[in-house]
Structures are given as structure tokens and as C-alpha cells.
Amino acid sequence: MLKGLYLGVFLLVISTFYSCGIATKVAKKSLVEYLELHHKGKYEIVVFKRNFNTTNVNFNLFLVALRLVEIKTVSIVFEWDPKLKKLHRPYYKEGNSRAYLTSKNIKEVC
């Protein structure tokens, strides 16, 4: 009896997590519109799936992999936030931030 109750609560919690946030179809449509507006058919979507971020409990993040139409071997992977209609950039310590890395002279290792 108690096992059934725990199982029911667990299933309810899981279904709540999957039903929260923007629907996948709506999110994908917003990304396609954004890409057409800003990039005019340069990319095709290879992967588009919900990527729940447990650190900030953001239900609106989607993992996206794009491929260049002209060069099929070039792929771009990022997290898309359709609610804000922009890339999700996680917060890092200063040593890992994009500004910090691009400000330093990075030497190639051959």
C-alpha cells in the first residue's frame, strides 16, 4: 500500500516536470523563425530536445545542434531559451568566462 503511494507521488512529480515549460513544438518553431530572420537558411536543425537544467530549475532550456548547410561537417551545439529567444549562457567563474578567455593571448600547441 505504501509502495503504491510512493510510486504514485513519484509519477506525479515526474509528469509535472515534463509538462512544465514551453512545448517542444512551440520552442522549435520559435528557433526556426529566429534562424530564418537572422541567418536565412544557413543552418539545419539536427538535434532539438528539452534540456532540463537542475542547477537553476529552468524548464525552458532546449539542447540544439545545428549543422551548416554548405559544410555538413560543421556543427554547432548550444542551449536555446525560447522564452527569452536567445542562447542560454551559464554563469561561470571569472577564469572560465568568455571575456576572460578571449582577453588572454592563447598560444597554439603544436
Secondary structure, 3-state, the chain: CHHHHHHHHHHHHHHHHHHCCCCHHHHHHHHHHHHHHHHCCCEEEEEEEECCECCCCECCCEEEEEEECCCCCCEEEEEEECCCCEECCCCCCHHHCHHHHHHCCCCCCC
- Please tell me the predicted confidence (pLDDT) of residue 44: 92
Question: pTM here?
Answer: 0.60
Q: Give the other-Cβ count within 10 Å of 32's Cβ.
A: 13
CATH number of 21-92: 3.10.450
**Domain ranges across the chain:** 21-92
Report the chain (110 residues): mean pLDDT per 10 consecutive residues.
75 61 84 90 91 72 89 86 78 53 48
